Amino acid sequence: MIETFIEGNKIFQEQDFERKKDRYMQLTSTQHPTVLWIGCSDSRVNPERITHCRAGELFTHRNIGNIVPTHDWNFATVLEYAVKHLKVKDIVICGHSDCGALNALDVDMSKDAYIPLWINNAREAQTRVDARLGEAKTPEEKAIRKKEIEFENVRLQLEHLRSYPLVSMAEEKGCLNLHGLYYDLKTGALSKIA
Protein backbone atom coordinates (compact mmCIF):
# COMPACT_ATOMS: atom_id res chain seq x y z
CA MET A 1 0.00 0.00 0.00
CA ILE A 2 2.81 2.44 0.82
CA GLU A 3 4.17 2.07 -2.71
CA THR A 4 0.75 3.16 -3.99
CA PHE A 5 1.04 6.33 -1.88
CA ILE A 6 4.52 7.03 -3.25
CA GLU A 7 3.26 6.58 -6.82
CA GLY A 8 0.24 8.73 -6.09
CA ASN A 9 2.53 11.41 -4.72
CA LYS A 10 4.52 11.40 -7.97
CA ILE A 11 1.29 12.00 -9.88
CA PHE A 12 0.40 14.81 -7.44
CA GLN A 13 3.82 16.40 -7.95
CA GLU A 14 3.57 16.24 -11.73
CA GLN A 15 -0.09 17.16 -12.19
CA ASP A 16 -0.74 19.56 -9.33
CA PHE A 17 2.36 20.69 -7.45
CA GLU A 18 4.38 21.70 -10.51
CA ARG A 19 1.43 23.47 -12.16
CA LYS A 20 0.67 25.48 -9.03
CA LYS A 21 4.19 25.81 -7.73
CA ASP A 22 3.80 29.48 -6.75
CA ARG A 23 0.85 28.60 -4.53
CA TYR A 24 2.71 25.72 -2.87
CA MET A 25 5.82 27.85 -2.36
CA GLN A 26 3.71 30.44 -0.50
CA LEU A 27 2.50 27.65 1.79
CA THR A 28 6.06 26.65 2.73
CA SER A 29 6.43 29.68 4.99
CA THR A 30 2.91 30.50 6.16
CA GLN A 31 -0.71 29.47 6.21
CA HIS A 32 -3.80 31.65 6.34
CA PRO A 33 -6.83 29.37 6.53
CA THR A 34 -10.04 31.21 7.33
CA VAL A 35 -11.94 28.14 8.51
CA LEU A 36 -11.42 25.54 11.20
CA TRP A 37 -13.15 22.41 9.89
CA ILE A 38 -14.13 19.84 12.52
CA GLY A 39 -15.13 16.65 10.79
CA CYS A 40 -15.27 12.92 11.09
CA SER A 41 -12.26 10.69 10.46
CA ASP A 42 -14.41 8.66 8.06
CA SER A 43 -12.34 8.02 4.93
CA ARG A 44 -15.33 8.82 2.70
CA VAL A 45 -15.62 12.41 3.93
CA ASN A 46 -12.48 14.29 2.87
CA PRO A 47 -13.09 18.00 3.65
CA GLU A 48 -10.92 19.44 0.89
CA ARG A 49 -12.44 17.14 -1.71
CA ILE A 50 -16.12 17.65 -0.82
CA THR A 51 -15.71 21.44 -0.63
CA HIS A 52 -13.31 21.76 -3.57
CA CYS A 53 -10.88 23.74 -1.37
CA ARG A 54 -7.22 24.21 -2.15
CA ALA A 55 -4.33 23.38 0.15
CA GLY A 56 -4.06 25.98 2.90
CA GLU A 57 -7.73 27.02 2.92
CA LEU A 58 -8.98 24.73 5.70
CA PHE A 59 -7.41 24.06 9.07
CA THR A 60 -8.81 20.65 9.93
CA HIS A 61 -9.40 18.53 12.98
CA ARG A 62 -10.89 15.12 12.35
CA ASN A 63 -11.98 12.51 14.84
CA ILE A 64 -14.49 9.71 15.20
CA GLY A 65 -17.98 11.26 15.08
CA ASN A 66 -16.93 14.91 14.46
CA ILE A 67 -16.96 15.37 18.21
CA VAL A 68 -16.03 18.48 20.18
CA PRO A 69 -14.98 17.06 23.53
CA THR A 70 -15.20 19.50 26.42
CA HIS A 71 -12.09 18.23 28.20
CA ASP A 72 -9.51 17.12 25.64
CA TRP A 73 -6.03 18.61 25.31
CA ASN A 74 -5.63 17.59 21.70
CA PHE A 75 -8.83 19.29 20.59
CA ALA A 76 -8.28 22.33 22.83
CA THR A 77 -4.84 23.01 21.35
CA VAL A 78 -6.20 22.81 17.78
CA LEU A 79 -9.01 25.18 18.73
CA GLU A 80 -6.73 27.62 20.52
CA TYR A 81 -4.24 27.70 17.65
CA ALA A 82 -6.98 28.20 15.06
CA VAL A 83 -8.77 31.00 16.93
CA LYS A 84 -5.90 32.84 18.61
CA HIS A 85 -3.03 32.41 16.18
CA LEU A 86 -4.52 31.69 12.76
CA LYS A 87 -7.48 33.95 13.55
CA VAL A 88 -9.97 31.86 11.62
CA LYS A 89 -13.25 33.64 10.96
CA ASP A 90 -15.44 30.53 10.79
CA ILE A 91 -15.64 27.15 12.50
CA VAL A 92 -17.53 24.34 10.79
CA ILE A 93 -18.70 21.15 12.40
CA CYS A 94 -19.53 18.72 9.63
CA GLY A 95 -21.53 15.57 10.29
CA HIS A 96 -22.34 12.97 7.66
CA SER A 97 -24.73 10.18 6.75
CA ASP A 98 -24.06 6.61 7.83
CA CYS A 99 -21.73 7.70 10.64
CA GLY A 100 -20.29 4.60 12.28
CA ALA A 101 -19.58 6.43 15.54
CA LEU A 102 -23.21 7.44 15.94
CA ASN A 103 -24.40 3.99 14.89
CA ALA A 104 -22.22 2.66 17.71
CA LEU A 105 -24.39 4.49 20.24
CA ASP A 106 -26.85 1.60 19.80
CA VAL A 107 -24.24 -1.17 19.94
CA ASP A 108 -22.70 -2.91 22.94
CA MET A 109 -19.10 -1.77 22.73
CA SER A 110 -18.14 -3.02 26.20
CA LYS A 111 -15.23 -5.03 24.79
CA ASP A 112 -13.61 -1.86 23.42
CA ALA A 113 -11.47 0.24 25.71
CA TYR A 114 -11.66 3.68 24.06
CA ILE A 115 -14.58 3.91 21.63
CA PRO A 116 -17.36 3.85 24.28
CA LEU A 117 -15.69 6.62 26.26
CA TRP A 118 -15.27 8.77 23.16
CA ILE A 119 -18.77 8.37 21.75
CA ASN A 120 -20.28 9.24 25.12
CA ASN A 121 -19.54 12.79 23.95
CA ALA A 122 -22.44 12.26 21.50
CA ARG A 123 -24.79 10.33 23.78
CA GLU A 124 -26.91 13.41 24.55
CA ALA A 125 -27.77 13.73 20.84
CA GLN A 126 -29.27 10.25 20.90
CA THR A 127 -31.13 10.99 24.14
CA ARG A 128 -32.67 14.17 22.70
CA VAL A 129 -33.81 12.47 19.49
CA ASP A 130 -35.27 9.48 21.34
CA ALA A 131 -37.19 11.84 23.65
CA ARG A 132 -38.53 13.74 20.65
CA LEU A 133 -39.35 10.81 18.34
CA GLY A 134 -40.00 7.92 20.70
CA GLU A 135 -39.11 4.35 19.82
CA ALA A 136 -38.44 3.68 16.14
CA LYS A 137 -40.22 0.52 15.02
CA THR A 138 -40.35 0.45 11.22
CA PRO A 139 -37.32 0.58 8.91
CA GLU A 140 -38.47 4.05 7.79
CA GLU A 141 -38.69 5.28 11.38
CA LYS A 142 -35.24 3.83 12.12
CA ALA A 143 -33.77 5.64 9.10
CA ILE A 144 -35.36 8.92 10.21
CA ARG A 145 -34.06 8.42 13.76
CA LYS A 146 -30.55 7.69 12.52
CA LYS A 147 -30.43 10.85 10.39
CA GLU A 148 -31.94 12.94 13.19
CA ILE A 149 -29.21 11.72 15.57
CA GLU A 150 -26.59 12.72 12.99
CA PHE A 151 -28.15 16.21 12.75
CA GLU A 152 -28.59 16.53 16.52
CA ASN A 153 -24.98 15.51 17.10
CA VAL A 154 -23.80 18.48 15.02
CA ARG A 155 -26.03 20.79 17.10
CA LEU A 156 -24.70 19.24 20.32
CA GLN A 157 -21.10 19.64 19.24
CA LEU A 158 -21.79 23.32 18.45
CA GLU A 159 -22.99 23.64 22.05
CA HIS A 160 -19.79 21.97 23.25
CA LEU A 161 -17.78 24.37 21.10
CA ARG A 162 -19.50 27.38 22.66
CA SER A 163 -18.54 26.09 26.12
CA TYR A 164 -14.94 27.08 25.37
CA PRO A 165 -14.50 30.68 26.60
CA LEU A 166 -12.24 31.68 23.69
CA VAL A 167 -15.00 30.64 21.26
CA SER A 168 -17.90 32.24 23.10
CA MET A 169 -15.97 35.50 23.54
CA ALA A 170 -14.89 35.64 19.89
CA GLU A 171 -18.44 34.86 18.77
CA GLU A 172 -19.87 37.59 21.04
CA LYS A 173 -17.38 40.11 19.60
CA GLY A 174 -18.52 39.18 16.10
CA CYS A 175 -15.13 37.92 14.94
CA LEU A 176 -16.09 34.25 14.78
CA ASN A 177 -19.02 32.45 13.17
CA LEU A 178 -20.03 28.85 13.89
CA HIS A 179 -21.70 26.61 11.32
CA GLY A 180 -23.19 23.12 11.26
CA LEU A 181 -23.01 21.22 7.99
CA TYR A 182 -24.07 17.75 6.90
CA TYR A 183 -22.61 15.67 4.09
CA ASP A 184 -24.81 13.06 2.42
CA LEU A 185 -22.77 10.11 1.15
CA LYS A 186 -25.50 9.05 -1.27
CA THR A 187 -25.79 12.37 -3.08
CA GLY A 188 -22.47 14.11 -2.41
CA ALA A 189 -24.46 17.12 -1.19
CA LEU A 190 -23.32 19.38 1.63
CA SER A 191 -26.11 21.23 3.43
CA LYS A 192 -26.55 23.61 6.40
CA ILE A 193 -28.20 22.24 9.51
CA ALA A 194 -27.42 24.89 12.09
Mean pLDDT for 166-182 is 97
DSSP states along 107-125: S--TT-SSHHHHHGGGHHH
What is the predicted pLDDT for the residue at 126?
96
Please write down the HEC assignment for all residues of 59-94.
EEEEECCCCCCCCCHHHHHHHHHHHHHCCCCEEEEE
Q: Percentage of the chain surpassing pLDDT 70? A: 99
Question: Can you say which residues are annotated as belonging to the binding site for Zn(2+)?
Answer: 40, 96, 99
**Domain match, 69 and 158 both:** yes
Domain count within the chain: 2
User: Which run of H or E residues covers position 183?
Assistant: strand 177-183
- Residue 42 contacts residue 96 (beta carbons within 8 Å): yes
What is the predicted pLDDT for the residue at 24?
78
**Domain match, 60 and 9 both:** no
- Please identify which of the residues 16, 54, 61, 99 carries the catalytic annotation: 99
- Please identify which of the residues 52, 72, 90, 96 carries the catalytic annotation: 96
Query: Torsions phi, psi of 69, nearest 5?
Result: -70, 145
User: Which run of H or E residues covers position 190?
Assistant: strand 190-192
Average pLDDT, the chain: 93
pTM: 0.91
**Domain match, 26 and 92 both:** no
Q: Is 96 a catalytic residue?
A: yes
User: Which run of H or E residues covers position 38?
Assistant: strand 35-40
Q: Percentage of the chain surpassing pLDDT 90? A: 77
**Domain match, 41 and 92 both:** yes
Question: Can you say which residues are annotated as belonging to the binding site?
Answer: 40, 96, 99
Residue 189 has pLDDT above 90, yes or no: yes
Instruction: Encode pLDDT of 14-44 as tens digits.
Output: 888 888 888 878 878 888 999 999 999 999 9
Q: Is 94 a catalytic residue?
A: no
Confidence tier at 99 by pLDDT (50, 70, 90)? very high
Q: Is 53 a catalytic residue?
A: no
Least confident of 16-30, 51-65, 111-125, 176-190: 16-30
* CATH code for the domain of 166: 3.40.1050.10
What is the predicted pLDDT for the residue at 5?
87
**Domain match, 54 and 70 both:** yes
**Domain match, 20 and 55 both:** no
**Domain match, 49 and 101 both:** yes
Q: Is 32 a catalytic residue?
A: no
What is the predicted pLDDT for the residue at 7?
87
How buried is 9 (Cβ within 10 angstroms: 0-12 exposed, 13-18 middle, 19+ buried)?
Answer: exposed
- Please identify which of the residues 16, 19, 23, 42 carries the catalytic annotation: 42
Q: Is 42 a catalytic residue?
A: yes
Residue 158: CB atoms within 10 Å: 20
**Domain match, 69 and 25 both:** no
For residue 68, the enclosing domain spans: 32-192
**Domain match, 114 and 20 both:** no
State the virtual CA torsion across 169, 174, 178, 179 in degrees, nearest 10. Answer: 170
What is the predicted pLDDT for the residue at 6?
87
- Please identify which of the residues 23, 32, 44, 123 carries the catalytic annotation: 44
Q: How far apart are CA 134 and CA 72, in angstroms?
A: 32
Instruction: Encode pLDDT of 105-148 as tens digits.
Output: 988 877 889 999 999 999 999 999 999 999 999 999 999 999 99
**Domain match, 26 and 119 both:** no
**Domain match, 36 and 12 both:** no
Query: Torsions phi, psi of 115, nearest 5?
Result: -60, -45
**Domain match, 7 and 46 both:** no
